[in-house]
Amino acid sequence: MKRTTVVLPDDTMTRLRHESRRRGTSIADIVRVAVERHLADPPEGRGLSFVAVGEGGPEDASEQVDRYVGDAIALLPA
């Protein structure tokens, strides 16, 4: 195994410590399991979804498609 350092917000660390005590296991074990689960089954929706893209929306969508697609891309996680 390799050792690494992770910087977490204070509130996340507090919740992690609480969960560690509740489970009777180490913080490292909880983090390892969470990372393994995330890598084994990545969350859906990382890309643009075009399901029901033609339903509703602004009336000028066909004229402003570049702007709206750019806005949608800007909302994607880095």
Tokens linked to 25: 């296991």
Side chain identity at 51, as an amino acid letter? Answer: V
Query: What values do phi and psi take at 61, rounded to 5?
Result: -60, -40
pLDDT of residue 24: 94
pLDDT of residue 16: 92
Domain count, the chain: 1
Residue range 7-65, pLDDT digits in tens: 888 999 999 999 999 999 999 999 999 888 888 876 665 555 566 656 666 777 777 77
Residue 27 lies inside a defined structural domain of this protein: yes
Count of other CB atoms within 10 angstroms of residue 20: 16
pLDDT of residue 69: 79
The backbone region for 11, taken as left when phi is positive above 0, alpha when psi lies in -120 to 50, beta otherwise, is alpha
Which pTM does this prediction carry? 0.52
Residue 76 lies inside a defined structural domain of this protein: no
Q: What domain range is 23 assigned to? A: 10-40
pLDDT of residue 53: 57
Residue 28 lies inside a defined structural domain of this protein: yes
